[in-house]
Amino acid sequence: MTANTDHRPTYRVTLRRVVRSEWTKLRTLRSTWITLGVAALLTVGLSGAFGYGYNAAIQAGEVQPTTAEGLDAAFLALDLYALVIGVFGILQMSGEYGSGMIRASLAAVPRRLPLLWAKALVLVAVTGVLSLLVCLASFLVSQSFAGADGAALGDPGVARAILGAAAYPVAMGLLGLGLGAILRHTATAITMFVAALLLVPAMLEAALSKSMEDTVMPYVPVVAGQAMYALEPNGPFKMLSAGAGGAVLAAYVFAVLAGGTALLWRRDA
């Protein structure tokens, strides 16, 4: 005999359930799959084009084929992909405010913070898997053009670089999510995101003296991100090690998400 036949199940909000809800929200929007699909295909396609150019440069004797050069060519398109993932992250939060969905979401999760955490977890899972596939495919496609001169998966440092390359867009997505929570307005958040991540570094590079450049530029988010997947930093200025770059980027992510969390908690919805 089963007892409790007419007893209603005890409902309760848990982080696990909010994560499930956020996954449902993400997967039930057509725009999710269009955005991510187009970004992935475009990135891998561009990597192929860069691989073709890399091979041409090798044949012309302009470049010595090394693993580091191969990785540079493989991940040249990654900044574009990371930008799209950043905007995707912004939309996870600003889209709720734009549509008014936030009222329904916060009525269901009035403690508020699990909502942002669940969004972050789902974002990391989805963009993490996709980014790993995109980076792997970008590497293989671009290096296939160089044939025997191309870098191979087994080359020292390559596996680590691919992992670093995959982590970079995920971090940008989280930065976007935090910025979306802080600014709540899609257009404002995207403008701020592009300005802070692309325009400010470009202006800094032009404005700073060489010595200051080496002190400041490695800590700019995009540059710190690039350090995560460069084998031998060979840009116009010094770069951090992959681990330090990752740590700097993680600190940015933490700061922006903390700001978003505090404002989500305090403000009227």
Chain positions contacting another protein, by CB under 8 A: 8-14, 17-18, 20-22, 24-25, 28-31, 95-96, 99-112, 266, 268-269
To the nearest whole angstrom, how small is the minimum distance from the Cβ of residue 32 to another protein? Answer: 9
* Whole-angstrom distance, CA of residue 135 vs CA of residue 164: 9
| C-beta of 28 vs 211, nearer to another protein | 28
Nearest-approach distance from CB 155 to another protein, in angstroms? 44
What's the burial of 125, exposed, middle or buried (CB within 10 Å: 0-12/13-18/19+)? Answer: middle
**Which of residues 25 and 184 has its CB atom nearest to another protein in the complex?**
25
Q: Which is nearer to another protein, 2 or 28 (CB)?
A: 28
Provide the 8-state DSSP code for 209: -
Q: From CA 102, how far away is CA 259, in angstroms rounded?
A: 18
Q: Could you give the 3-state DSSP secondary structure of residue 220?
A: coil
Least CB distance from residue 22 to another protein, whole Å?
Answer: 8
Q: Alpha carbon of 100 to those of 118, 185, 188, 255, 269: distances in Å? A: 19, 12, 17, 26, 10
Query: By the 8 A CB rule, do 218 and 235 touch?
Result: no
- Residues sharing a CB contact under 8 Å with residue 112, sequence separation 6 or more, in sequence order: 106, 264, 265
Q: How far is the CB of 18 from another protein (least distance, A)?
A: 5
Compare residues 24 and 144 and give the one whose CB is closer to another protein.
24
Work out how close the CB of 17 gets to another protein at its nearest, in angstroms, rounded to a whole number: 5
By C-beta, is 39 or 222 nearer to another protein?
39
